[in-house]
Structure 1
Amino acid sequence: MHSLALAAADNEGGFTPPTLDETHLPEILPWMAEWGTGFGKQMLMIVLSIVFIWWFFSAAIRKRALVPSRLQYLAESGYGFVRNTMARDVIGEKHFMTWVPLLFGIFFFILINNLFGAIPLLQLPSFSHVGAAYAMAGIVWILWVGVGFQKYGLRYVKLVAVPSGVPKPLLILLVPLEILSNFIIRPVTHSLRLMAVMLAGHVIVMLVGSGAEFLITQQESLAMNATGVLVLLGFIPMYFLELAMMILQAFVFTLLTAVYLQGALEAEAH
């Protein structure tokens, strides 16, 4: 029905809103056409983000000085933010240094890929596609579950799934819920939170852009032209709001990673 409505709108010369299918651009190298996958714009931007992060921090530390340059200061500030705010404050003094490189990499990898959505022409946050978000959350899930089993062995399941001080009859209900919550729901929500916010922002950009273009190109109505200009002007504060959400989601994802690692490292104390 939706496709029929869009076709009817096209035939009548009306506005055709963008669809979710349009967020998936054609693959550059469709090596597995039968699986509907290949090397596309999203994968290209992920590769570019890795190259950019490597270049930026390599250039920043190449000429280290007691009085830092702007580039060195920016890099050191970013490292200090991750080290102190998300590693030391969450994981604790005892274990945090081991996990600083991981948290540092996750934060800037997600941040750069999110910010791609705010750059004209690129205009596509990599994590607006659920596959990338699932992959990141899956890696984090394997890490913190692996840490828990490495430290506590099979007893880790009991530490996570069996609440202390709960009457035994209630454990029949609570234990399956705790296992479901900690080992299945947690990684799903970890990924979907990131993907949903990035996808929503990307769809809003598409909708505003296509709507404004439609209104501005209506030659028979100056009122519609003016409305299109107002739509573009009104989108400016929304653009900065989306920019803030891109930064916030990188922070939240990394912070939750630190929380999950801390929970695995200190499961016996919880």
Structure 2
Amino acid sequence: MGELVLAEGGEFAPPGAKDFFLPPIFGGVTKPMVLVVLSVIIIAVFFLLATRSFKLVPSKFQFIAESVYDMGRNTIAREQIGGKDFKPFVPLIVTLFTFVLVNNLFGIIPLIQFPTMSHIGFPLAVSVLVVYPVYHFVGFKRHGFVGYLRNQLFPPGVPKPVYVLLAPIEFFSKFIMNPITLAIRVFAAMFAGHLILLVFTLAGEYLLLEAGGALKPVSLLSFAFAIAMTFLEALIQVIQAYIFALLSASYIGMALASDH
């Protein structure tokens, strides 16, 4: 993205990747690190308050908590893992959804306005250090080492000579690319969305303060786009958290399944 020069003003420096690398707050601690810890506290406090005293007629907190749990349990875990095996994984799926969701929503919360998942290290850590070991562990536990590899690398119904080409592709896809693509999906969406919001917001500010008189009213259009994109970004943030949890459950379900 090049520089934009407007009449009677200086040069507009568009936002870029550099704006996502924030200086340390103290020591080596950065804002995204603080937000990750804050998200854990927010989630823990919310569920503790919501489940402190269950009522037949639920409070707002209880209703939201029950809705989130029901979605994670029945819509995601049960559907993707299966009715016989899903129950032990419900806490993991609900935790993944809420953790990614809160860290995504930080991007549109005033004063915070930074989606933690726009730093590739955080979704990659969740994917590689949590999801990846879990679904391979349960697969090896269910089928044994040889049986699990056979299920993953040699899908049934394929002519044996084709396995020479298919097995390496399956290994690369399921043991290397799956955790990477899982992380990249949410990272790319949060990075691009936040960058778009920065473009419209900073452009509106620049047009209002630096542009010539004829262009100043255009700043209102830029700010209007920023507001509209904020609502769209909120929807995308929820969807991406849902997709992250859905794919995680799907990987667990495929690892437990006998045939693929």
TM normalised by structure 2 equals 0.93
* Residue 165 of structure 1: how far off its partner (Å): 2.3
Select which of 106, 113, 117 maps to 1:116.
Answer: 106
Matched, 1:172 2:172: no
Q: State the match for 1:33 in structure 2.
A: none
Superposition map of 1:59-74 within 5 A: 59-74=49-64
More deviation in 100-109 or 83-92?
A: 83-92
Select which of 109, 126, 136 maps to 2:116.
Answer: 126
Identify unmatched segments of 5+ residues in structure 2. Answer: none
Alpha-carbon displacement from aligned partner over 1:22-71 (angstroms, at most 9, x marks no partner):
111101233xxxxxxx3110010111111111111111111211111121
Select which of 68, 83, 86 maps to 2:76.
Answer: 86
Root-mean-square deviation over aligned CA pairs:
1.7
- SS of the equivalent of 1:166 reads coil
Total equivalences in the alignment: 255
Residues 145 and 264 in structure 1, CA contact (< 8 A), matched pair in contact too: yes
Could you tell me the percent identity over the aligned residues?
40
Matched, 1:256 2:232: no
Q: Distance in 1 between matches of 2:243 and 2:157?
A: 31
Q: State the match for 2:132 in structure 1.
A: 141
Q: Distance in 2 between matches of 1:50 and 1:164?
A: 42
Identify unmatched segments of 5+ residues in structure 1. Answer: 31-37
* Residue 235 of structure 1: how far off its partner (Å): 2.3
Q: State the match for 1:35 in structure 2.
A: none
Quick check: which one's helix share is greater?
Answer: 1
Matched, 1:196 2:179: no
* Residue 225 of structure 1: how far off its partner (Å): 1.2
Higher relative contact order (CA 8 A, sep 6+): 2
TM normalised by structure 1 equals 0.90
Q: Distance in 2 between matches of 1:128 and 1:234?
A: 21
* Residue 19 of structure 1: how far off its partner (Å): 2.0
* Residue 163 of structure 1: how far off its partner (Å): 2.1
- The amino acid across from 1:21 in the alignment is K
After TM superposition, the runs of 4+ consecutive aligned structure 1 residues lying more than 3 A away are: none
